Amino acid sequence: MKIPRSHPRYGSLVTRETLVAAWKAGIVVPEGLIAHGRGEAFDYLLGEETSAPALVAEKAAAAFLVRAKSPVISVNGNVAALAATEVVRLARAIPDKLEVNLFHRPPARVHRIAGVLRKARAKEVLGLRPDARLPGLASKPAFAQRAGIYGADVVLVPLEDGDSTEALVRMGKVAISVDLNPLSRTSRTATVPVVDELTRAIPNIEKFVRELLEDAKEAARIARTYDRAGNLKATYSFLNWRLRNLLRGPKKKR
Amino acid sequence: MKIPRSHPRYGSLVTRETLVAAWKAGIVVPEGLIAHGRGEAFDYLLGEETSAPALVAEKAAAAFLVRAKSPVISVNGNVAALAATEVVRLARAIPDKLEVNLFHRPPARVHRIAGVLRKARAKEVLGLRPDARLPGLASKPAFAQRAGIYGADVVLVPLEDGDSTEALVRMGKVAISVDLNPLSRTSRTATVPVVDELTRAIPNIEKFVRELLEDAKEAARIARTYDRAGNLKATYSFLNWRLRNLLRGPKKKR
């Protein structure tokens, strides 16, 4: 099907097609499609652009990544489908490891996702030989690699669920989430919750990483002064303001 | 996978599993999974129960259905997967026709959905031999049956997109939508937008249908006095109030 460029939801429809194609290719699972829909709804409410509080969180994320001893970016099917190029660019900038980290983990799927990352010019992709189990996940077994997420001090977990994010935080790691729902368990649990759309958030973080790599003092200051609770509060205020405006004047379609 | 009953999102997870199973059975399409995710996000924001304005819209929907000359319920993959029993019960109460109405319409899929409805004890299912085309749909060909949606005066279109709802309204039909997003083009376009979750909305409408079948005068009064704009406004106020509360005090998970 050809989506007409004039369609009022052209951008959303194209992204949906990308995800459905990735599902057909065995990259994305059906649960990932449902999760994408939830994100879409929140992105719509947030105005489909990076908010001021999101930008603050993205800069903090960059500071933690730059200062990390052993940073890792976790990549699942949706992330590979929507932002392989962006995460690989970010990983190369830090430099940082990439680990395929899946809930639904048949080996063929892990290999396909690793393939997508390599095609996007990733140097090294972990996750193919998990050798450790994350503790404290009742509902599912979660495996990771000692050289990767398991041993990392800072983990970027875009589009991750609440259970996994919570497990990482409980292990004492700095978990940076990217999740459009500011009320999700993921956003409420992460050390640095970034409430923004993935393909906007990752390049923003990369830009800040490049800046902060040049200025270690500034990176230290940002990591030290980052106010998680204040930032979430600002995000809630922003969403509230957006909604007041949206709900005041929705135009009736004729 | 066994979802533990104690999981904070148990209900949502079970519904997701139902949809994924229906997708495996060829009932639901990937786009339907994404749409479900959007609905889930709004249901969460609305508090996952029927709001007072939704109840008013559901009663109005019942009044229009009871008073219709030729009412039809449109059924797509998500509706069949989530609420086959509920729509069949509603159809029998009115009585009303059921028509399988799909965007992605390979004959095998139409037959499978008709099968789901028949298994839920539907008497007659239309949509297998569409013989008319709905006018004004640029982005897709939309077919319907003259004896069904095409010739109906009142159409219940649960979980339908904005384009199709708009086409029905332009044809002069009373279109009753069920859509959790009060700001969607569907909700903004429908004659009677019901902003509620499907498996709550349909039984509510059925209950009101049974009441109004006994009281034609009351049905006439409700259809006459239904205030679409006022009802949508009340829905927006409700959502706004819910959000203010949600955003004021999200508890931090430890």
Q: Is the pLDDT of residue A250 over 60?
A: no
DSSP code per residue over B20-72: HHHHHTTSS-HHHHHHHHHHHHHHHHHTSS--HHHHHHHHHHHHHHHH-SSEE
Phi then psi for residue A119, to 5 deg, are: -65, -30
Dihedral Cα A45, A50, A53, A57, nearest 10 deg? 120
From the list A40, A42, A253, the residue facing B166 with the nearest CB is: A253
Q: What is the pLDDT of residues B139-152, one digit of tens each?
A: 566 778 888 898 99
The residues that bridge with A177 in the sheet, in sequence order, are: A157, A193
Of B30, B181, B232, the CB nearest to A33: B30
Give me the residue from A30, A42, A139 closest to B33, CB to CB. Answer: A30
pLDDT tier for residue A11 given thresholds of 50, 70 and 90: confident
Minimum distance, in Å, between the CA of residue A188 and any CA atom of chain B: 6
Q: Does the structure show a pLDDT above 50 at A253?
A: no
Least confident of A60-64, B202-206, B236-240: B236-240
Mean of all residue pLDDT scores within chain A: 90
Q: Sorting pLDDT into bands at 50, 70 and 90, what band is B253?
A: very low
Cα A214 from Cα A12, distance rounded (Å): 36
Range from A133-142, A149-158, A213-222, B53-62 carrying the lowest mean pLDDT: A133-142
Cα–Cα distance, A89 to A99 (Å, whole number) = 14
Cβ contacts (< 8 Å) between A34 and chain B: which residues?
16, 19-20, 33-34, 36-37, 40
- Are B30 and A23 a contacting pair at CB < 8 A? yes
Q: Across the strands, what pairs with B157?
A: B177
> Is residue B163 very low, low, confident or very high in pLDDT (cuts 50, 70, 90)?
confident
Tell me the longest C-alpha to C-alpha distance in chain B: 59
**Least confident stretch, A213-217, B94-98, B166-170, B231-235:** B94-98
Q: Among all residues of chain B, which has the CA nearest to that of A181?
A: B41
Distance between CA atoms of residues B127 and B234, nearest Å:
36
Q: By the 8 A CB rule, do B102 and B77 touch?
A: yes
pLDDT, mean of residues B99-107: 78
Among all residues of chain A, which has the CA nearest to that of B242? A240
Least Cα separation, residue A106 to chain B (angstroms): 14
Largest Cα separation within chain A, whole Å, is 59
Residue A252 has pLDDT above 60, yes or no: no
The dihedral sign for the CA sequence A160, A162, A167, A173: positive
Residue A181 is nearest to which of B41, B189, B252, comparing CB atoms? B41
Q: Give the residue among A3, A169, A177 at the shortest CA–CA distance from A76.
A: A177
- The CB density around residue A133, as the number of other CB atoms within 10 Å, is 11
**What is the least distance, in Å, from the CA of A94 to any CA of chain B?**
30
Of residues B20, B189, B229, nearest to A30 (C-beta): B20
Chain B residue numbers touching A166 (CB-CB < 8 A): 253
Contact A123, A94 (CB under 8 A): no
What mean pLDDT value characterizes chain B?
A: 90
Per residue in A139-184, pLDDT tens?
566 778 888 898 999 999 999 988 889 999 999 999 999 999 999 9
Model ipTM? 0.86
Its pTM stands at 0.89
Query: Parallel, antiparallel, or unpaired: how do β-strands A71-75 and A97-100 relate?
Result: parallel
Task: Please enumerate, as own/partner, the contacts of A128-134 that have beta carbons within 8 Å and a separation of 24 or more.
Answer: A128/A100, A134/A164, A134/A167, A134/A168, A134/A171
- Cβ within 8 Å, pair B139-A7: yes
Residues of A in contact with B140 (CB under 8 A): 1
Contacts of A232 in chain B (CB under 8 A): 250
Nearest CA in chain A to B23: A30
Rounded-to-integer distance, Cα B174 and Cα B191, Å: 6
Residue A137 has a pLDDT of 72
Q: Which one has a higher pLDDT value, A95 or A90?
A: A90
Q: Are B176 and B190 in contact (CB under 8 A)?
A: yes
Closest residue in B to A39 (Cα) is: B38
pLDDT (tens digit, 9 = 90+) per residue, A182-193?
999 999 999 999
Q: How far apart, in whole angstroms, are the C-alpha atoms of residue B117 and residue B99? A: 10
Please report the pLDDT score of residue A141 as a whole number.
64
Closest CA to B160 of B187, B134, B182: B187
Percent above pLDDT 70 for chain B: 94
Closest CB from A3, A41, A188 relative to B181: A41
Cβ contact B244–A240 (<8 Å): yes
Q: Is the pLDDT of residue A54 over 50?
A: yes
With beta carbons under 8 A apart, name residues in chain A contacting B239: 243, 247
pLDDT, position B252 = 47
**Record: contact B188-A243, CB cut-off 8 A:** no
Most confidently modeled range among A155-164, B6-15, B211-220: B211-220
Q: How far is Cα B239 from Cα B251, in angstroms, rounded to an integer?
A: 19
**B108: exposed, middle or buried (Cβ count in 10 Å: 0-12, 13-18, 19+):** exposed
